[in-house]
Amino acid sequence: MSPLPVDLGSGVVLRRYEMPDLEALWHAIEEERERIAVWMPFVEGVRTIEDERTWLETVVADEAGTGGGGLWSGSEFLGGVGLMLGPFGIAGEIGYWIRAKHEGRGHITRACRAMIDIGFEELGLHRIEIRAGVDNARSRAVPERLGFTYEGIEREGSRGSRGFYDLAVYSLLDREWRS
Ligand SMILES: CC(C)(COP(=O)(O)OP(=O)(O)OC[C@H]1O[C@@H](n2cnc3c(N)ncnc32)[C@H](O)[C@@H]1OP(=O)(O)O)[C@@H](O)C(=O)NCCC(=O)NCCS
């Protein structure tokens, strides 16, 4: 059974995506395109609502539903948090974005906490990673706030609208989270 939905407080719920979310997701991506494309490589591949539909169909078909979901306040889409699993069930990587008007309220930090609980408790992961652009201060603040350990720089490990950029790599181990 899917561990979602999770109530994040402040009227915000983290829940699995459903096909009827397509319009809201597409609208949010269109509105935020320029801002998030700087850091998020997926944006370049989402040119039309049909591209987004293809992605959504894949996510909805994943019945385990452990890969994350959307943050919603009623029918309003605020942003998304994903947990991508690596091989052999050892590690997972969290990624996130939120619409500008909902930034700075702790929603993403709370959603990450929920995904970390799921990763360690439900999925039995040993390690959770967060990679953020070295110059992406708001993104780096999330793992730092959550007690992740900074490991170093992954050179040009991601690509945004301004080209390849270096990533700051953070990790958290299951025993560290439980303590
Ligand atoms: C990266 C990003 C998701 C961070 O969003 P965010 O809103 O800053 O993150 P949080 O939801 O954790 O909010 C933290 C802020 O809420 C405040 N806050 C309020 N209540 C809080 C709470 N209960 N817990 C934590 N923070 C809280 C914090 O003080 C902080 O504000 P500050 O930076 O002004 O001090 C966002 O900037 C974004 O979408 N950027 C564009 C896309 C992107 O870069 N994605 C990441 C790619 S790696």
Burial class (CB in 10 A: 0-12, 13-18, 19+), 37: middle
**Concatenated DSSP letters of 88-124:** GGSEEEEEEEE-GGGTTSSHHHHHHHHHHHIIIIIS-
pLDDT for res 65:
66
User: Domains (ranges, CATH) in the chain?
Assistant: 6-178 (3.40.630.30)
Contact 43 CB / ligand 1 (< 6 Å)? no
Q: How far is the CA of 100 from the centre of ligand 1 (A)?
A: 10
Q: Does the CB atom of residue 66 touch ligand 1 within 6 A? A: no
User: Which atom of ligand 1 is closest in space to residue 35's alpha carbon?
Assistant: 41
Distance 88 CA to ligand 1 centre (A): 31
Q: Which residue from 147, 68, 138, 135 is spatially nearest to 106, judged by alpha carbons?
A: 138
Residue ID of nearest Cα to ligand 1 atom 8: 104
Atom of ligand 1 lying closest to residue 130 CA: 48
Residues 6+ away with beta carbon under 8 Å from 12: 71, 72, 73, 78, 107, 110
Taking the centre of ligand 1 as the mean of its atom positions, its distance from the CA of residue 121, in whole angstroms, is 24
Cβ–Cβ < 8 Å for 56, 22: yes
With a 6 Å cutoff on the Cβ, whether 169 touches ligand 1 is: no
Mean pLDDT by 10 residues, the chain (179 residues): 89 96 98 98 96 95 81 97 95 98 98 96 97 98 98 98 98 96
pLDDT of residue 63: 74
